[in-house]
A and B are shown apart, each in its own frame.
Chain A
Amino acid sequence: MDQLYPAKQNCKLVSSSEETVRFLLDYSKSLSIVSSRGMEFENNLN
């Protein structure tokens, strides 16, 4: 059976770190979109 799935080793399961997830959540909180005169401006508030 093993020979039927030679690519099994390519299917390694990995997850991105908590640090990366935390960065993304902080990025989301800091990003605000402001609309003015039909245009949208992105702001990053620290």
Chain B
Amino acid sequence: MELQAEDSTLIRNYLSGDERSLEILINRHNQRISSFIYSKVYDREITEDLFQDTFIKVIRTLKLGKYNEEGKFLPWVMRIAHNLVIDHYRKSNRMPRYEGSPEFSIFSIMQDDRLNAEKQLIQDQIQSDISDLIAELPEDQQVVLQMRMYQDMSFKEIAENTGVSINTALGRMRYALINLRKLIEQNNIVLTN
């Protein structure tokens, strides 16, 4: 009974602006609430997260003046923690958590396809070199190559758009590639990542 009375006094003091009272309340009930959460989730990190979320709700409710369970602070906080544990399991079911084992790592089948900073720089340099090389080609070859490689158009579409036959478009593409190879060899350009 004495403990409950002290809790209610601390809450009153906290609502009057005494932040130290909140610290005493949190420290006083830390172990009971954390242990309660831990007994449900068996994970220290999740316990910390849920403990934090519990007291964020407590603080908000107190500051909003919505707390009206005088003398029953701990059961009230435990109820909030309990509801958050339930929410946690609801979310976990929607988004299952995977834990690897020594025999199998999820990263053996998953990987980040993005280039690292160094490879990205090299890639940008290659793109820049290719743009410069394309600019050296005759204009009709440039047009066909850009439509094919950058706009992903079929040779039929290229032919229609440039007003030439498909064979001519194919021929221009062939010569564009031959000329590009020549330029790369003449200038000793390395285009690999």
Contacts and interface: CB of A to CB of B under 8 A. Distances in A.
A24 B31 contact: no
B interface, by DSSP: helix, strand, loop or mixed? Answer: helix
Nearest to A10: B39
A21 B55 CA distance: 9
Interface size class of A (residues with CB under 8 A): 20 to 34
Nearest to B40: A10
Interface stretch (B59-67, B70-78, B140-148, B159-167): B59-67
A21 B60 contact: no
Contact of A11 (B33, B35, B55): B35
B52 A28 contact: no
Interface in B1-40: 19, 22-23, 26-27, 30-31, 33-35, 38-39
Nearest to A24: B55
Given A14-B44, A25-B19, A25-B23, A20 B59 contact: no
A23 B34 contact: no
A10 B60 CA distance: 31
Contact of B27 (A11, A21, A29, A31): A21
Interface string A4-28: 0000001111111100110111011
Main secondary structure of the interface of A (DSSP, over half): mixed
A12 B39 contact: yes
A20 B48 contact: yes
Interface of B: 19, 22-23, 26-27, 30-31, 33-35, 38-39, 44, 47-48, 51-52, 55-56, 59-60, 63-65
4 pairs of A and B residues whose beta carbons are closest in the complex = A16-B51, A14-B38, A15-B31, A24-B55
Interface of A: 10-17, 20-21, 23-25, 27-29, 31-33, 40, 42
26 contacts: A10-B39, A11-B35, A11-B39, A12-B39, A13-B31, A14-B34, A14-B35, A14-B38, A15-B31, A15-B34, A15-B35, A16-B33, A16-B52, A20-B51, A24-B22, A24-B26, A24-B59, A25-B22, A27-B56, A27-B59, A28-B63, A32-B63, A33-B63, A33-B64, A33-B65, A42-B64
